[in-house]
Amino acid sequence: MATAIREDNPVIITEHKLHYLANPSPVPEGAYTIPLGRARIRRPGTDATVVATLVMVERALQAAELLERDEGISVEVIDPRSTRPLAAVRNPG
């Protein structure tokens, strides 16, 4: 949210209501931003890659754990955290 507020271009923020029911995760103590357009590798893997957003990130992580444990398949999970679908039409100047 802090990154979106500081962005000079229009930003749309989406949230999934199931995020409010998810297990708590650590949050930095001080103010922080997440750069737009920078993904986060949530789980390294070598056999396959899954790109997931919002509530599907947690489900992809769970599926990757099951595949590793039951099938020996190593799955990387990437959370793009933001997308830039209008980047190609932005005014460069």
What pLDDT, on a 0 to 100 scale, did the predictor assign at position 47? 98
pLDDT band at 74 (very low <50, low <70, confident <90, very high): very high
pTM (two decimals): 0.72
- Written as six digits, the tokens of 67 are 């595949």
Express each pLDDT in 12-49 by its tens digit.
887 777 777 777 778 888 888 888 888 999 999 999 99
pLDDT band at 91 (very low <50, low <70, confident <90, very high): low
The count of residues in the chain is 93
| Nearest CA-CA partner of 19 in 56, 60, 51, 52 | 56
User: CA-CA distance, 49 to 41, in Å (whole number)?
Assistant: 10
